[in-house]
Structure 1
């Protein structure tokens, strides 16, 4: 039965890895974005742990100061009771003082441990933030290179007839021929209008000369 479960687990993991490989080959940037989102979630979890550790440290600090103050208070009360000859009060105050002092010792150790753990968490959190920032910068760099690669590929397809489809290339050829026709029409119209204007001017001048000769 164990071997069967192991084979099923291995089969599922193999299928999952194959699916991830196919996804990476199809769109590596999308997979990278997914990984970064997961890293952001993990970083956010650590941030919340840091905040919680802050709260714990503050709690230990409050309890430690309170226990210390109460121990001092009971010590003073024990001295007063002793001087007054109140044995019962003295005994009670001394016992209370000892309990508060023991509690203060435990709280001090817990506070030191919490402070140490908080420092470690803060360092890890800052390290994770820096790594996340660096990975985001690398993602932008990769996206820039991928974009240039795709753009260059499209440019090469357009400019290189051997790798571009006949239909798309013929479309460019049609546009070039159309521009040639327009240019020819414009040039012909320009020359025609120029010739007409010149001949009309010549006819006008000749008429003036004939009129002057007849006078």
Structure 2
């Protein structure tokens, strides 16, 4: 699938997702409010990555947003699946900070292990393995590391040297994380319309489809 086709697919489904998502802070608990805020933040980062790659050549800024997107996604999932009421209250009151994303990934995996063990399913460290594999690159992309510096020159001219394959990979990684968040949020919020649309999007098998 070409980069142009990827843009068309994301644009098509992001509109459907936004309609089904209909974000609003109408639920009473602190946890609900924090989760809605993090889903909103994730949405903004995701759509900013999409727009920066589609409508401009500010590719470095698009790549810099992938780690903040993943941070927000993991925090939201941790809140929905793992956090106790006491932890939520302390975070909301600034008495406690979120754990590192690496630590959050371990806690999330542990929770899913418990759920899958109860259902007799095979267990995988999906969140931790995925984050651990990419953490150094994510850090460099966000904080001006060599991953960014080496991409600022093209044929001796100052110009973003990201390839189409780089951009497709970025959109794939961003989409997989955003979709994963929305699937879990749809279940958490009992939003059947959102769940249906997002699962239709995820059925595209993004890891395979988003290739040059």
TM-score by length of 2: 0.26
Which has more helix, going by share of residues? 1
Higher RCO (CA < 8 A, seq sep 6+): 2
TM-score by length of 1: 0.25
